[in-house]
Amino acid sequence: MIPVTKPYLPNREKLNKYIDGIYERQWLTNNGLLVQELTERLEKYLGVENLLLVSNGTLALQVAYRALGVSDGISGHQNEAITTPFTFIATASSLKWDGVQPVFADIEPNSWCLNPANIEAAINSNTRAIVPVHVFGNACDVEAIESTAQKNNLKVIYDASHAFGVNYKGKSLLRYGDAATLSFHATKLFHTGEGGAIVFKRKEDLELAKKMINFGITGPETIEQLGINAKMNELQAAMGLCVLDEMEDNLKARAAVWHRYEQALSQALQLQVKPEALDYNYAYFPVVFESEEQTVRVAATLKENGLLARRYFYPSLESVECLGAEADQPVSKEIASRILCLPIFAQLSQPDQQSIINLIEAELEA
């Protein structure tokens, strides 16, 4: 079975050398040498400052909310954050888990990112933040979102889980907002098996978050604040360092897959529209079909032939009961019902990719 994505596994001998060093030092966690090295290298590679490594992407969001005061409750009031319904569940569930009510605003029909025109109407006295998502690595309208946030004195935390290495207007997309979070899950373009990171705009927020991810402990006998265990360990960092060493080869292979899909399918299917100033990372290849019926049929045909595509993101999150009842967001609901992400990873062979294209074309003609 060909999966929708496959973890990139780097050179085993190099990984073994890193692991040998871990055994020699017997320093497995608590800001070890490899975590320090990976932090420095990622800041340089991504062109950012104030990067904090954490144990997964969901905790990256939750720590960012805490560090920026989004989840600091006011007696008698329910804090709220405006976010998109077209995203992975963790964007919204991390808010809800931390006591912040996600309030959904609809997306743009072409970029599939949060529509800035819908944010203003959702703001009220309980709103503390805007949590947009750079969906599939595509840039939100960061200028418009920043303007709305400044006007209403709101924090902006970008879920940038898909945006590793993406540049917009010549600088990292991670430099926008008060914070941007990354997921380093095994299926991501860059991964540490499990893991994540937060890029803060301000140094003081980084320093506060550093204390938070180690239980609030700042010394052998000192606990300054409420914290949690969100530290990245040395084995995760070792994997990340090896993957980072081979990033250019990984990107080149994924780009070739992405462009073959684009050449074959762009005339027949709706693709995500990206700004010209975006330097993309080829992390995903989503396509939108004419109807939900056609989408389901294509996914079933691919699966029958050993090829997995994913309805990503489905369902639109305003319909998820545990997040709180919400009115339909029509654009998100429509895109979510008709979208498939096609298999894309560095090891995907041209024959397998051509089989995917041929099966889709046959279904479109049926």
Residue-level pLDDT at 157:
98
Q: What is the pLDDT of residue 72?
A: 76
The count of other CB atoms within 10 Å of the CB of residue 329 is: 23
Q: Quick one: pLDDT at residue 363?
A: 95
Q: Are 128 and 79 in contact (CB under 8 A)?
A: yes
> What pLDDT was estimated at residue 73?
59
Which residues lie closer than 8 Å to 341 by C-beta, 6 or more apart? 4, 136, 284, 285, 286, 309, 310, 312
Last residue of a domain, one of 194, 229, 244: 244
CA dihedral 73, 78, 81, 85 (to 10 degrees): 140
In a domain, 274, yes or no: yes
Q: Please check whether residues 196 and 279 belong to one and the same domain.
A: no
Rounded Cα–Cα distance for residues 342 and 312 (Å): 10
Query: 180 pairs with which residues across the strands?
Result: 158, 199
Domain containing residue 188: CATH number = 3.40.640.10
Task: Choose, from 188, 201, 231, 333, the residue flagged as catalytic.
Answer: 188
Q: Which residues constitute the domain of residue 257?
A: 245-365
Q: Domain check: are 227 and 283 in the same one? A: no
Which has the closest alpha carbon to 153: 124, 190, 194? 124
Predicted confidence at residue 221, as pLDDT, reads 85
Q: Are residues 210 and 359 in the same domain?
A: no
Asked whether residue 175 falls in the same domain as residue 64, the answer is: yes
Q: 3-class secondary structure for 107-137?
A: ECCCCCCECHHHCHHHCCCCEEEEECECHHH
Please indicate, yes or no, whether residues 136 and 285 belong to a single structural domain of this protein: no
**What was the pLDDT predicted at 327?**
86
Q: Please check whether residue 3 lies inside any domain of the structure.
A: no
Q: Which of 212, 244, 276 is the last residue of a domain?
A: 244
Bond from prior residue into 330 cis (ω within 30 degrees of 0)? no
The pLDDT, as a whole number, for residue 77 is 78
Whole-number pLDDT of residue 74? 55
- Are 213 and 257 part of one and the same domain? no
228 within 8 A of 212, measured Cβ to Cβ: yes
Residues 46 and 168 placed together within one structural domain of the fold: yes
Tokens of 80: 């709220």
Q: Where are the alpha helices (DSSP H) in the chain?
A: 12-25, 33-46, 57-67, 89-97, 142-152, 203-212, 234-245, 247-265, 292-304, 330-338, 350-365
* CATH value at residue 304: 3.90.1150.10
pLDDT along the chain (366 residues), means of 10: 95 97 97 98 98 98 97 75 98 96 97 97 96 98 98 98 98 98 97 98 98 92 92 98 98 98 98 97 98 98 98 96 89 98 97 98 92
Neighbours of 284 (CB within 10 A): 22
Q: What is the predicted pLDDT for the residue at 326?
A: 74
- Phi first, then psi, for residue 231 (nearest 5°) are -75, 145
Q: Are residues 285 and 329 in the same domain?
A: yes
Domain end call among 244, 260, 280 = 244
Residue 104 within any structural domain of the chain? yes
**Residue 232: predicted pLDDT:** 98
Beta-carbon contacts of 160 under 8 Å, excluding residues fewer than 6 positions away, are 133, 134, 166, 173, 174, 180, 181, 182, 199
| Total count of domains within the chain | 2
Residue with tokens 């402990």: 217
* Within a domain: 7: no
Residues 255 and 200 both lie in one domain: no
Task: Examine the domain organization and report whether 240 and 267 are in the same domain.
Answer: no
Q: In terms of domains, do 20 and 154 share one? A: yes
3-class secondary structure, 193: coil
Q: Are residues 304 and 211 in the same domain?
A: no
**Helix orientation angle between 350-365 and 247-265, rounded to the nearest 10 degrees:** 20
- The two three-digit tokens of residue 8, written as one number: 């990139």
- Note if 188 is an active site residue: yes
Global pTM value? 0.96
Question: What pLDDT is attached to residue 366?
Answer: 79
